[in-house]
Every structure is written in C-alpha cells, then in structure tokens.
Amino acid sequence: ASVPVASSAQGRSRYIVVRGAREHNLKDVSVHIPREALVVFSGVSGSGKSSLAFGTLYAEAQRRYFESVSPYARRLIDQVGVPDVDAIEGLPPAVALKQQRGSPGARSSVGSLTTISSLLRMLYSRAGTYPQRQPMLFAEDFSPNTPQGACPACHGLGRVYEVTEASMVPDDSLTIRERAIASWPPAWQGQNLRDILVSLGYNVDTPWRDLPKKDRNWILFTEDQPTVPVYAGFTPAETRAALRRKMEPSYQGTFMGARRYVLHTFATTQSAAMKRRVSRFMAGAVCSACKGKRLKQEALSVRFEGRDIGEVSGLPLSELAAILQPASEGRLADQSSKGTLSRQATRKAAQRRIAAGGASHSAAPDVRRTPNLSDGKRIAAQRISRDILERIASLVDLGLGYLSLDRSTPTLSPGELQRLRLATQIQSNLFGVVYVLDEPSAGLHPADGEALLRALERLRESGNSLFVVEHDLDLMRRADWIVDVGPDAGDWGGRVLYSGPPEGLRGVTGSHTARYLFHSAPARARGLREPIGWLRVAQVTRNNLHRLDADFPLGVFSCVTGVSGSGKSSLVSQELVELLSAHLGHELPPVDQDTTDEDHAFQVRSTGHIVEGGDLIHRVVQVDQKPIGRTPRSNLATYTGLFDAVRLLFASTPAARARHYDAGRFSFNVAKGRCATCEGEGFVSVEMLFMPSVYAPCPTCHGRRYNEATLKVRWNGLDIAQVLSLTVKEAVNVFPNEPAVLRPLELLQAIGLGYLRLGQPATELSGGEAQRIKLATELQRTPKGHTLYVLDEPTNGLHAADVDKLLEQLQGLVNAGNSVLVVEHDLRVIAQSDWVIDMGPGAGDAGGQIIATGRPAAIAKAPDSVTGRYLQPHIG
Ligand code: ADP
Ligand code: ADP
Ligand code: ZN
Ligand code: ZN
C-alpha cells in the first residue's frame, strides 16, 4: 500500500488529518489533530495510543523523510511495510523522543549526549590557564576517549581493578564451609575447591577471621595450582585418615587461588552471566595517576576558574553553571598562574572587571593579567560559557540539575534519558516539527511536572507540535487537545472516543479517561494495616545517600516517595534489594543488562547493613519494567510457563503420538518442529545502517513460526500457531479444563492483560506490560507469605484504570501475608498505602535524606514534605 502525500494546500491547514488508520488494533480511525498545540493521546494501556501516535503518525512522517533522502532506505521501507492508513494530510516532519535506555555498547554520558562536554573541552583548550612553558592543547587532548587525552595508566577508565580480601570475603564471621569466600564458583566447583583445601590441611570449619593471616593470604592470593587427592563426601577427619592410609581418592583436584579464579574467569569466560558474577568481586580502585579523572597529566594541569576539567565534569550541572557564570559575563577569574605580573596588568584586569558588571564575586580572586588571560581568551571564554550555560539552563529547568556531565547514560532511568533528549531538542531551535513523546512524566514527582510542562510549552511557542502519549491526569488537564483512544485494550479498543479540548471529554460516556479526569478520588478502600514487624537498615552509603538509616514496615503496603533524584531507587531498588539478597543467600538479582561489567565492578560497595527484621522475610522479589526478553523468541506464553503445559497437550493428541512428536516438537526453539527459514522467529530481521534493526514477517511461514508438518497436529481444532495467536481472553475459553494453562491466563486477565496475544513477542511489549507479566508470573506461584515485593514506579505507562487493577493485586499480596514496597509518584497510589517514607528535600546532593515518614494522612500534613503538599487533596 502506498500513502498519497498531502497536497500543499492542505498542508498549510491548521490540522493534521488522518483517514482510515488501521495499524495494529486501530479500527479504521479518522481524526483531525491541531498543529502547534500540546496534544495528549490518552487511553488504557493497549488501547492503541502508541499505534496512532508512533505507529501511524510518526512512522509515516519518518517514511516520507526517508523516501525523500535515500533510495536505499526506501527499499528497506518497502520490505518493512508502511503504516496501514489511507491518508494523512498536513503532516510536518516528526522527531520521536521515546523512552529507552541508553544502548549498551555506546559509552555515552550526559556530557556527550548534550554536547556540553565538547564545548567544555573547547573552553579548556582555548581559554584555560596553562602552566608556564606548556604548549596549548587541542580540544581532543581533554577527552578521555581519545588516545591523545586518555590517562596512560588506566587507559582513560579512571579506575583499575583490584581483587581484595574484603571484596571476596564480605562476611568474615563465616567459615569456608559456610561459603566465606563468596567469589568462589557456585555449586560443585566451589565444593571441589573446599575439598582440596581440606586435603591440603586447611581448616574449613573455623570462622574466616580466626584463620592465620598466612593461610588466608595463600587461599586468596596464591598463584600456585597444586594438584591433590580429593575424597568427596568425607569429613576433614576422614580425609586426614584416608590421606595417611593412602586410600584411593575420588579424583585428583587442582586448586586455584580465589583472586586468580576471579581474574581468570573475567578474562576468559564466554558467559555474560559468569562475567557479571565475578565482576562483583573486582573492586574498582581509583587510578592513582589521574585520581579517577581519566585524563593525562598535561590536560589536567590546565585550569579554568582554578579547576581542572575532570573536576568540573563531576560536578552537578547546577554547580557547574555557577562556576561559568562570571566568565559568561566577561569576568574571568584566574587563580592558578603564580607568575609575577606587572602592576599595570593587574589594574587593567580589575578595571575591566568593574566595567563588565560591577561587583566581583565575594572572595575576590587573584585576577592577574597574564598572557594566559589575553582579550582573545576572555572573549572565547565568554562566548563558550554562555553557550554551555544556555544548555545547562534547559536541563535544570527539566529537573536534571543534579546530574553531572560524567554520568554515564546506562545508569540513567528511561525517564531521565528522555528528558535529557527533550532538553537537547529545546536547544536545537527547530520549528514546524512534530515532537512525539512517550509518557514524559514517567518518574517525575508532581513537583517536577511543572518544569516539564514549561519545557513542552516552550517547544510549542517556538512553532512546534507536541504529541504526547501520557497518563498523567494533570498534564491532560493542561493540554490544548486530547485524543482519547479506547474504550478498552486490544480488539476492545482502537477507536477514537473523543478528539478536542480537554473539557469536552467530560460528557463522553464509555471513556475511562473521562471517569478519572473529572471525578474526585474515591475514599480509601480499606482501613490502615498495622505493621507486623520492621526491617531496619543502617549506614547506607550509596550514590547520594550518606550513612542513612531507614525503617521499613512489614506486612503492609508502603510507598517511598520524593522528587526525582532524591534517592528513592538508590535506597530501595539498589541497596535494600542487595542487602536482603545477600542476607537470604540468594544469588544476587541479575544486573541490568545495559550496565557494562566495568560499571558494575566499579560500583562502590556500600557500608549499609540490616539491623533488624531480616529474618521476618523469607524471600525478596523485585518486579521491574525491564523487558522480559529482547528478541521475538521470548513471549508471553514462554515467559509465564503456560506454553510448557500447552505443548504437553499437543504432544498427547493421537495425531502427535502417531507421528512420535514429543513436546519439543511444538517448541519454536527446537529445530525439528519449527520453520527453517526464520528458525522459529516468525520474523526475519532486517539490519539497517545507523538504526536499530527492524523485523519483517518470514516469507516462508508468514509469521506462523512452525513447519507444515507440525501445523498438521491440532488440539481441539486449533494448530499450535493458532493457539499462539489467541488473546489471553480468548484462550481462557479454549482451555477451561486445563488448570495448568488456565491459572496463568486468569491471572493475566485479572491484571488487565486479557488483550495480549499468547505469542506476542517480548519486543512488542511495553515496560508496563512486561512488569505486569512478571507480576502475574509471580502471583501464580504457590503463595508462601513472608515475601517482600519491591516495585520501582510500577504505575509508569499505566492509565488510572490500569493502576486500580494493579493496586488490587498488590493489596492482595499484602493480604496473603507479604509485604509490598513501591517507589511511587502516583498520588492516588500513595494515598491508598499504609505507610509512606518521603525522601528529599531536593535531588542529588540536595536530597538523600528521609524527610518524613508515617501514615499518608500524616505525610499530607508534614510541614517539610513537598509530597505532602500534593498529597493533601487525595486524602479522603
Ligand atoms: P497503547 O499505546 O494504548 O498502550 P498500543 O498502541 O501499544 O497501545 O497497542 C495497541 C494494540 O496493538 C495492543 O493490542 C497491542 O498488543 C498491539 N500491538 C502493539 N504493538 C504491536 C506490534 N508491533 N505488532 C502487533 N500488535 C501490536
Ligand atoms: P530517585 O529514585 O529518587 O529518582 P535515584 O536513587 O535514582 O533517585 O538517584 C539519587 C542520586 O543518585 C541522583 O543524584 C542520581 O543522579 C544518583 N545516581 C543514581 N543512580 C546512579 C548510578 N548508577 N551511578 C551514579 N549515580 C547515580
Ligand atoms: Zn588514570
Ligand atoms: Zn518462518
């Protein structure tokens, strides 16, 4: 299908007109949307908002752009398909700002993404103060990512690896048998090493700290690899006796020192998981040559306002702004050059300072006229500083002033990254563009929402259109226009229920959005629960937390709140989960796939510990929004495990038995049953230069994933591919008598995911959907109680109606004897909780403290709590 391009007369109209959009679940949608306006696309999740805003409008704008620039791109687009829409008129070029994490390979940072770092390098190169007789450097000499700039000792990493006793033996009260050496390999291999130590005569039943220093050092750091007889299953006494009698050993075992094992595994393993596991024991030590600043000495000796470039790259942006302010006003202070100066030069500089803007800053710096401070330099400094300050201002406006330039993008939340991109766009001064954004309010405290709105308004004022897929009710109220999609999800959605100014939505029956937008919050659904105990942690030092003590109530539903960057995730999702996992002896939660091994090895180990209540928790479960898989190979059915049961059903049919097909035959991950062309993916991936690869349907099986022979087998009239294309809701009716399939299906439906297809690839699922699938998978386990569920902003991507469903499930978990702890901004959720821990007062170094803690009603009245101010109207 090809889309007729709008005629130029229509192009100048005030509206973008869409006719007959049928992408995904859209039901032949026609709608007109104003330009140069803030337009919110609302609706429950799965209703089709993104299919309209991204899948149709943005995709079409992008297609037209590519078509206009390159025949090569055009060919790819032909393969991938064009959006299914009859016509779009008046569509300007579009820029999408989607929420995604920084891509793993690219080592980008806040500074590189915003291009502030390159300006800063220019500033140091042109306007920095050089030591006497040092020649001027080029801008690249100030970049740790270039061979010219990198510190030769650490190759520009700023850190060197160190494997120490403290990193390998976190708890020295344990014996070797009790796994004191945490860095040893798990399971059999670890046991093998222990048995070897027994044969070598080491005591494995004495607490580590009571072993002689000499023994400890040998076990950890030896490079020797002795081979000795091992008597598996023998006690130390039995082993000694066996050695004396020269009994036939179980086998000969070779020892490897604990540090050697860590370094060797890190360097050689093919398994990313193993690499990650051992990287945990490699403490990153600051490089002594560059003190962690990653640059060669010559670069670090150049100063601006008395500081080197490494130092200022580590400062919060708001502080960096304060440093650049004088220079941007033409008042360049320079303290580093200690050469002798003529009195005349000093006087001239002082005059210039006065002329340039009155009072110099308080501790009047030693401003001297040197060759370093020529007029040329001063002017360069002024111009570049102004440029940087402008960029910083839009970042600070969006509540990101707490970030530093050297912060790596993989450690940013998707919301922070999106706002970073938004700020960069504001700087780009484009006009006449449609910006398509995906829930920009995600991760924002209501207090930060104001700044976001201002940023969006600025883009609109410069003549752009803003299409925002959004759930935040306040943002909807402040929009110029709402396109409400629904009424429900998947096949039960895909219609435009309303398109117009927000107020007009009030009368639209059947709109879930209208129900929440215009009706005040319901009263509390339930009484307040009393905690059955407390989990107390102390001395937490991590990111912006410094020796923080915190108490978490158990057996209740509690929320951790606070402006973004205040330290909620650092406390809950990072520290608490790690402390509990360690306490419970769980294998540590998988590290974020996007964090590189180096990042992980370099994390500062916290001094935090559990003081009380650790034993009241038997399990800790973190339910996050990370994708459940990154290829179309994992899907809803495989992830929840219900597909195993379905495959067994197929294998037990007479047709399958006659052909000797086992359950494996019905897996698209096993060669015998799947389509050979796409190897069971249903799609073939098309690699595109400069862009993420895209998937096109398989030409052989047309997305069915299986070969013809496998598809001959039917269960109750359906072949296996047809089962995968059922929605959850439909499948409930297909498998009413199969509890192993039915139970997960019912849970998925209860949590609002009835519209998803069983075979829906993980790559098509949103973060919110992924999170709810994880939750449903968790719910189908036999309830044991005493579990702590930790969720970080579970309402991201959820419509208020979906939030209610989620809340119901979370409350159910608490009723079953568990504890639920969520990091949350949604005031309706906070109001329904039993306990609130409010962090702040600000972000970054201005936060990191607990401001108020108590019942929601008490927080609403707490004088110092920003959250409280916003919470008040929601307390029934
Ligand atoms: P929303 O943005 O309102 O949450 P979406 O537009 O993402 O909804 O999804 C609307 C419907 O289209 C849902 O049923 C969803 O499962 C389906 N869908 C989304 N992406 C794809 C895709 N790439 N291929 C097929 N169906 C999809
Ligand atoms: P919140 O969850 O309240 O938004 P965070 O705990 O994410 O706050 O962040 C608190 C502070 O710690 C911020 O200054 C943030 O920039 C910093 N921070 C968070 N994660 C990391 C990290 N992985 N590396 C470095 N700094 C971090
Ligand atoms: Zn170095
Ligand atoms: Zn195929």
Interval 335-362: pLDDT, tens: 444 333 334 444 444 444 434 433 334 3
Tokens representing 345 are 């030069």
Sign of torsion over alpha carbons 766, 756, 772, 474 = positive
504 and 549, same domain (yes or no): no
Does residue 619 carry a pLDDT above 50?
yes
756 and 641 in a common domain: yes
45 Cα: distance to centroid of ligand 1 (angstroms): 9
Taking the CA of residue 55 as reference, the ligand 1 atom at the shortest distance is: 6
Whether 753 is in a domain gets the answer yes
Q: What is the pLDDT of residues 736-780, one digit of tens each?
A: 999 999 999 999 988 888 889 999 888 778 777 888 888 888 877
What's the pLDDT at 478? 94
| Average pLDDT estimate for 378-402 | 92
By mean pLDDT, which of 199-203, 512-516, 532-536, 620-624 is the weakest?
620-624
Residue 698 confidence (pLDDT) above 90? no
pLDDT above 50: residue 597:
no
Q: How far apart are the first and last CA of the chain?
A: 54
β-strand partners of 175: 207
Query: Do 600 and 678 have their domain in common?
Result: no
Quick check: 511 pLDDT over 60? yes
768 lines ligand 1 (CB under 6 A): no
In a domain, 246, yes or no: yes
Nearest protein Cα to ligand 2, atom 27: 543
Ligand 2 in reach of 499 Cβ (< 6 A): no
CATH number of the domain to which 853 belongs: 3.40.50.300
Half-sphere exposure of 691 (CA within 13 A, CB side): 12
Dig out the tokens for 194 from the structure.
């222990």
Q: State how far the Cα of 548 lies from the Cα of 571, in Å rounded to an integer.
A: 9
pLDDT in tens, 826-838: 999 999 999 999 9
Do 386 and 421 sit in the same domain of this protein? no
Q: Is 83 in the pocket of ligand 1 (CB under 6 A)?
A: no
User: Which chain residues have CB less than 5 Å from ligand 4, an ion?
Assistant: 675, 677-678, 698, 700-701
- CA pair distance 722, 731, nearest whole angstrom: 10
**Residue 341: how many other CB atoms lie within 10 Å:** 16
Find the 667 Cα to ligand 4 centroid distance in Å.
Answer: 13
Residue 687 has pLDDT above 70, yes or no: no
Q: Are 611 and 642 contained in the same domain?
A: no
- pTM higher than 0.80: no
Measured in Å, residue 574 CA sits from the centre of ligand 2 at 10
Interhelix angle for 116-127 vs 375-397, to 10°?
A: 160
Least distant ligand from the CA of 695 = 1
Q: Are residues 839 and 796 located together in one domain of the fold?
A: yes
Report the helix count and the strand count for the chain, using DSSP H and E: 36, 26
pLDDT at position 762: 83
pLDDT above 80: residue 625: no
Would you say 268 and 121 are in contact if contact means Cβ atoms under 8 Å apart? no
Cis peptide before 487 (omega within 30 of 0): yes
My answer on whether 757 and 839 are in the same domain is: no
Sequence letter at residue 534? W
For residue 356, the model assigns a pLDDT of 41
Ligand 2 neighbourhood includes 710 CB (under 6 angstroms): no
Which residue has its alpha carbon closest to ligand 1 atom 24?
Answer: 24
Counting from 1 in the atom list of ligand 2, the atom nearest the Cα of 413 is: 7
pLDDT at 521 over 80: no
Which ligand lies nearest to the CA atom of residue 680 in the structure?
4
pLDDT mean across residues, the chain: 85
Task: Flag whether pLDDT at 363 surpasses 50.
Answer: no
Ligand 1 proximity of 756 Cβ (cutoff 6 Å):
yes
Provide the domain count of the chain. 5
Measured from the CB, is residue 796 less than 6 Å from ligand 2?
no
**Residue 405 falls inside a structural domain:** no
Residue 80 is predicted with a pLDDT of: 57
On the question of pLDDT at 517 being above 80, the answer is yes
Q: How far is the CA of 638 from the centre of ligand 2 (A)?
A: 34
User: Is the C-beta atom of 683 inside 6 A of ligand 1?
Assistant: no
**Owning domain of residue 643:** 636-764
Nearest CA to ligand 1 atom 10: 48
Share of the chain above pLDDT 90, in %: 56
For a substitution probing ligand 1, which of 26, 45, 50 has the most ligand atoms within 8 Å of its CB?
A: 50
pLDDT of residue 614: 93
Please tell me what DSSP assigns to residue 786.
-
Residue of the CA atom closest to atom 16 of ligand 2: 403
Atom of ligand 2 nearest to the CA of 566: 3
Q: Do 657 and 754 have their domain in common?
A: yes
HSE, side-chain direction, 13 A CA sphere, residue 224: 9
Residues 600-615: tens digit of each pLDDT: 444 445 578 999 999 9
Q: What is the pLDDT of residue 107?
A: 64
The candidate with the shortest Cα–Cα distance to 356, out of 336, 384, 335, 375, is 375
> Contact, 461 vs 467, CB < 8 A?
no
Inside any domain, residue 848: yes
For ligand 1, is residue 50 a contact (CB within 6 Å)? yes
725 alpha carbon – ligand 4 mean position (Å) = 15
Residue 340 is encoded by which pair of tokens? 């002798």
* pLDDT of res. 693: 53
313 in the same domain as 385: yes
Question: Hey, whose CA ends up nearest to atom 23 of ligand 1?
Answer: 764
Give the residue with greater pLDDT, 482 vs 799.
Answer: 482
Q: How far apart are CA 571 and CA 566, in angstroms?
A: 10
Q: CA dist 179 to 185, 216, 228, Å? A: 10, 14, 21
814: pLDDT confidence band, cut at 50, 70 and 90? Answer: very high
Same domain, 311 and 210: no
* 458 and 489 together in one domain: yes
Measured from the alpha carbon of residue 289, the closest ligand is: 3
pLDDT band at 417 (very low <50, low <70, confident <90, very high): confident
Atom of ligand 1 nearest to the CA of 54: 6
Work out which ligand 2 atom sits closest to the CA atom of 543. 12
Q: Which CATH number covers residue 679?
A: 1.20.1580.10
Q: What percent of the chain has pLDDT over 70?
A: 87
Q: Residue 144 falls within a domain, yes or no?
A: no
**Residue 781: inside a domain:** no
Same domain membership, residue 386 and residue 475: no
Q: Return the residue matching tokens 């604990």.
A: 258
Among the bound ligands, name the one nearest to the CA of residue 543: 2
Tens digits of per-residue pLDDT, 164-182?
898 899 899 999 999 999 9
Q: Tell me if 25 CB under 6 Å of ligand 1.
A: yes
Residue 387 lies in a domain: yes
pLDDT average, residue stretch 259-283 = 83
User: Residue 686 — pLDDT band, cuts 50, 70, 90?
Assistant: low
Q: How far is the CA of 94 from the centre of ligand 4 (A)?
A: 33
The Cα–Cα gap between 699 and 712 comes to 19
Ligand (nearest to CA of 757): 1
Answer whether residue 294 is part of any domain: no
pLDDT of residue 355: 41
Q: What value of ipTM does the predicted structure carry?
A: 0.93
